[in-house]
Amino acid sequence: MSKQTKNISRTTTTQIGSRKGGEPIVSLTSYHAHTAAIVDKYADFILVGDSLGMVMHGMDSTVGVPLDLMIMHGKAVVRGTEQALIVVDMPFGSYEESPNVAFRNAAKIMKETGCGAIKIEGGARMAETIRFLVERGIPVMAHIGLTPQSSNVMGGFKTQGRDKETWPTHIADAQAVSEAGAFAVVLEGMVEPLAAKITKEITIPTIGIGASATCDGQILVLEDMLGMNPWTPKFVRVYGQLGPMIEDAVQRYANDVKLRSFPNSDETYS
């Protein structure tokens, strides 16, 4: 007989796909088990984003994030959650070379983390790879518009679609990833009218970040919306001020240590 395992009912990619035009899809990033456990109660999917390179490890961009780092953080998030679909970013250099390389690395991510899907950046140029992965059992979330891994050739982190002449390219990207089999697509740093048009014209859910409230869902970097970063992008609404709270707590702790008021008798083994 096969060994029975705990049946955990997680949100599936099919369920996310079925939300097109329906109840908005809620998502946040998370990089570790304890924050993931909190987000898990409210999010439909959690993205283990390569933004962890900048947020957690002090990198200047996402380009330097290695595959093993994504796997390590992906494992932690999966361990800390029970309900949300977990999507792990494929880092720069792990999928662009060929569909075969992409499959090998995507399979490694899914087998070692236990996540339910991967995300890759790029529109029409990645359609062949998306189709290749999906046909071999790997669910793919696409990512178009402002693609941080390509910031070096895009001239930095620039809002996309300000020039209406570029709209056909972005629309073609969205249609290409949809037709290739992606179950959803992130629209990042995109002017609202363009994001709204794409959302209306394609058949898969759009997940906005700096895009439009008309998208089928929204995602933010958790640390951004908690006020933990010194600079906040325009598209972020800050729902907490954990940065100042943490600094205040650390300062009070340091003072108590210097005054020898910590630990006191209640905090000491006699």
Comparing CA positions, the residue from 29, 32, 34, 33 lying closest to residue 50 is 29
* pLDDT tens string 19-33: 999 999 999 999 999
Which are the contacts of 73, defined by CB distance < 8 A and separation ≥ 6?
A: 31, 32, 48, 52, 56
* Overall size of the chain counted in residues: 270
The helix/strand/coil state of 107 is: helix
pTM of structure: 0.93
Res 230: pLDDT: 83
User: Which range, of 7-21, 27-41, 131-145, 243-257, averages the lowest pLDDT?
Assistant: 7-21
188 catalytic per annotation: yes
Is 142 a residue whose pLDDT tops 70? yes
Average the pLDDT over 60-89 and give the result: 97
Q: Which amino acid is at 145?
A: G
The answer, yes or no, to whether residue 149 has pLDDT greater than 90, is no
pLDDT band for 5, please (50, 70, 90 cuts): very low
Catalytic residue among 82, 97, 135, 188: 188
Helix (H) or strand (E) holding 121: strand 117-121
- The continuous run of DSSP H or E covering 88 comes out as strand 85-89
* Amino acid identity, position 193: P
Cα 14–Cα 16–Cα 19 angle in degrees, nearest 5: 110
| Terminal CA-CA length for the chain | 54
- Phi, psi at 220, each rounded to 5°: -135, 160
Type and span of the H or E element at 55: helix 52-55
Domains and CATH numbers, the chain: 13-239 (3.20.20.60), 241-270 (no CATH)
The average pLDDT across 203-208 equals 98
pLDDT in tens, 217-237: 999 999 999 999 888 889 999
| Mean residue pLDDT across the chain | 94
Mean pLDDT of 37-48: 98
pLDDT band per the 50, 70, 90 thresholds, residue 1: very low
* In the predicted structure, residue 76 carries a pLDDT above the cut 70: yes
**pLDDT tens-digit map of 78-126:** 999 999 999 999 999 999 999 999 999 999 999 999 999 999 999 999 9
The pLDDT of residue 48 is 98
Residues 6+ positions from 161 with CB-CB distance below 8 Å = 145, 167, 170, 190, 191, 193, 194, 195
Single-letter code of the amino acid located at 183: F
Strands 85-89 and 45-48: parallel
Whole-angstrom distance, CA of residue 141 vs CA of residue 120: 7
Please tell me the predicted confidence (pLDDT) of residue 8.
57
Whether omega before 263 lies within 30 degrees of 0, making that bond cis, reads: yes
